Chain A
Amino acid sequence: MTDPSFPFEYLSNYLIIGAALMALGMLGFLSRRNLIVMFLSAEMMLQGVALTLVGFSRYHGNWTGQVFTIVMLTVAASEAALALALILVLFHRIRSLDVTLWQDLRETGLPESVDTSGAEPYEPVPGPESYPHLTPSGVEPPHPRQPWEQRRG
């Protein structure tokens, strides 16, 4: 009845791996706070769906699943472009990648979801930071320059 080189059991292999990638991606998207890691988790959910589609394409013996996957890759590329542009704009506004700093976009009446008042301070590695030293060249700009280590927020 079915293709003997790709029976139903092999299809369910692909479905299970795809489901696991999807569930883990959702877990990461829900729990992490860094915008870049959330973006990567969303991409991983797409990857799990792509595995499912390719398995179905092989099982049904036609190209439709692979064409769907090509469309999905294109949507993922568009999503990456827009998401990274949005991350860039959001970072320029508040100098942070923390998604919970944008909580004032939530619905009215909902409480704040994250409280980091009990966070321990991060212990930096003692000693001065060392960066490669470059000899300045060219014309000195007219405006006063700030050392770039101090500009980081």
Chain B
Amino acid sequence: MAANDDQRDLDVFFEAARERTPVPSAALLARIAADADATQAGFGVRAHARRSSGRLRQFLDALGGWPAAAGLAAATLAGMWIGFDPPGDLEARARDALDLVQNPHVIDIMPGTGLDLIGEASL
């Protein structure tokens, strides 16, 4: 079994070779790590863009899509316009609206039943 002995003896040589396997220096590892961070930063820009468009989409879906968002935008702009440049009789219109709230017109839908007296009875 001389051949097998010789092959087993090879283990001593392989062990010597493994012990002499070069070890990466701290400087080399630092360069590799810097490359990893720089490359990963590029992933982050693209990932952030994807996340932002996702949030916008969720917001629009909550409103009811682009048409609803457009209507909301129009209403907002109208409110801003009225605030900056109100119509001349705005105050009179506001008073009329307030008066309706405080003194609602009663419509007797069932005359003779006394429904119009319910509010007074509760006082």
The answer to whether A and B assemble together is: no
Partner-A contacts on B (CB < 8 A): none
Partner-B contacts on A (CB < 8 A): none
